[in-house]
Amino acid sequence: MLKAKCVLLISCSSDEKQLKNEQLLVEENSTTEITEAVDLGNAHVTTFVNGTNEDETFGFLLISKEKDNYEFSDVEYTKLTKEDPFELVNYTGNIGIKHGINVTLGYINNPDISNVYIYYDNGKMSVIYLEEGQKTFTDILFGEVVKIESIIALSSNEEIIHEVHY
């Protein structure tokens, strides 16, 4: 886990190696765990869990890259309730990048979940295989705006643990 002052980089240049602007993202004494970091070439998605066991949030940062410059695109996060077997943050946008992006971020509350199936309204399906102890999962789609039709979480024995339809 990373214990440090966490700032949201508004923009920076890889050549200059200095911040052009920064904004405090979380409280200074807060604990932030980076759970996944995905380099998409022209964008970066970094997922995080922040806070304490009693008061946690989870979400992601979306940073776009234009030539040698990185620009903050968006941040999405929500407070964890830990009431359901998994919780979701769903994002659709195109801020700072030239095409649409759909990000589905899930937080696993039930350790028996080993596979997550996400069904979209355009007929596409994503299957995410979780490693033991994995807390979050991320699914990223580019192009057209899509909506989630359903999400099914399965155990390692392929038994349905939780199912949500939209």
pLDDT of the residue at 74: 85
pLDDT of the residue at 66: 78
Residue 123 pLDDT > 70, yes or no? yes
pLDDT digits (tens, 9 = 90+) for 19-40: 454 544 555 667 888 898 988 8
| Boundaries of every domain in the chain | 7-165
pLDDT of the residue at 41: 82
Structure tokens at 67: 């030539």
pTM for the model? 0.76
Contact, 128 vs 139, CB < 8 A?
yes
Q: Which of 71, 64, 58 is nearest to 19 (CA)?
A: 71
> From CA 83, how far away is CA 45, in angstroms rounded?
26
pLDDT of the residue at 12: 45
Residue 16 pLDDT > 80, yes or no? no
User: 129: pLDDT confidence band, cut at 50, 70 and 90?
Assistant: very high
pLDDT of the residue at 27: 56
DSSP assigned state of 156: T
> From CA 67, how far away is CA 144, in angstroms rounded?
24
Contacts of 29 by beta carbon, 8 Å cutoff, 6+ apart: none
pLDDT of the residue at 95: 57
Structure tokens at 104: 């589905």
